[in-house]
């Protein structure tokens, strides 16, 4: 996993474990939602509908993150192994960060990551993508 992209952020929040954890959670849940949608618009997916963007609490994220392996299995998501691995990493970061609430910074970071999940997911797994078959990898950026 390559988290170099965090170096590009000048926001000090993105240098903290909490910030990174929330961001990674956003990527993971964004990938799950995209998988649920199966090519449809992401705003129609069950996961998207459960998220109150801008008002998300830390326990909401914890709750959804705990269900990721289950959802990956249930929806037979593509790249499930990578999503699960990233979810584990995100969980660790979230635990290491000791802020009680995610607040404005967390909500902002989560939304950026969620809506750009594909882009950041593949920048984390760039090297893994090279090892995969071409048809397995959808490298198209969001929008």
Partner 1 sequence: MDAVRDLGLLASGSSTGEGLDSFLQLPLPIIDDEDRRGKVIRVWMRASDPDGDVLELEGISRIDLVDYMSGEGGLDDHKRKYLYRDPVGSNTTWGFSPIYKLGAPKGDLEARVVALVGIADDDGFLRWREDKDTRFFKLEKRVLGDYQLSGRFTQGSLDGILRDLESKVHEIAELWEDKKRSYILMFGLEKNGKYLYPGEANAFKGYFEDKFSKVSGDSGKAGKGKGEVRCSMCDQKGSSSVNLDKIFAFATFDKASFLPGLDKKSESKVFPICQGCFAALSSGREILDRAFTDRQTVRGLNLYVVPELTLGSDKLAMASEHTADFVRDGLKVEDKVFRRLARQDDSLVLHFLFWEKNQAQEILHLMVEDVPPSRLKRLEDLWIESYRHFLWNYMEKPVFDPKEIDLDVGLKVIYQVMTSLSGKNEQDKKVMVSRILDLLGRLLSGELVDVTGVKQLMVSRLYGLCSNPEWIRYGGSEMRKMSAVIDFLIRANRR
Binds partner 1 (CB under 8 A): choice among 60, 97, 111, 137: 111
Distance, in Å, from the CA atom of 79 to the CA atom of 75, rounded to the nearest integer, reads 12
Minimum CB–partner distance for residue 71 and partner 1 (Å): 20
Residues 121-140 that bind partner 1 (CB under 8 A): 139-140
Instruction: Determine whether 55 is exposed, middle or buried from the number of CB atoms within 10 Å of its CB (0-12, 13-18, 19+).
Output: exposed
The reply on whether position 57 binds partner 1 by CB under 8 A is no
Q: Count the Cβ atoms, other than its own, within 10 Å of residue 116.
A: 17
Binding site for partner 1 (CB under 8 A): 5, 8-12, 41-43, 52-55, 104-105, 107-108, 111-112, 115-116, 118-119, 139-143
């Amino acid at each position: 996993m390559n988290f170099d992209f965090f170096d590009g952020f000048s926001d000090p929040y993105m240098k903290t474990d909490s910030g990174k954890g929330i961001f990674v959670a956003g990527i993971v849940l964004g990938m799950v939602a995209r998988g649920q949608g199966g090519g449809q618009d992401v705003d129609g997916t069950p996961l998207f509908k459960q998220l109150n963007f801008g008002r998300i609490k830390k326990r909401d994220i914890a709750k959804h993150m705990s269900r990721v392996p289950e959802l990956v299995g249930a929806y037979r998501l593509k790249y499930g192994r990578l999503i699960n691995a990233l979810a584990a990493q995100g969980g660790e970061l979230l635990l290491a960060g000791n802020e009680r609430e995610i607040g404005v910074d967390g909500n902002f970071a989560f939304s950026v990551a969620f809506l750009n999940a594909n882009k950041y997911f593949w920048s984390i797994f760039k090297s893994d993508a090279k090892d995969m078959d071409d048809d397995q990898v959808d490298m198209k950026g969001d929008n």
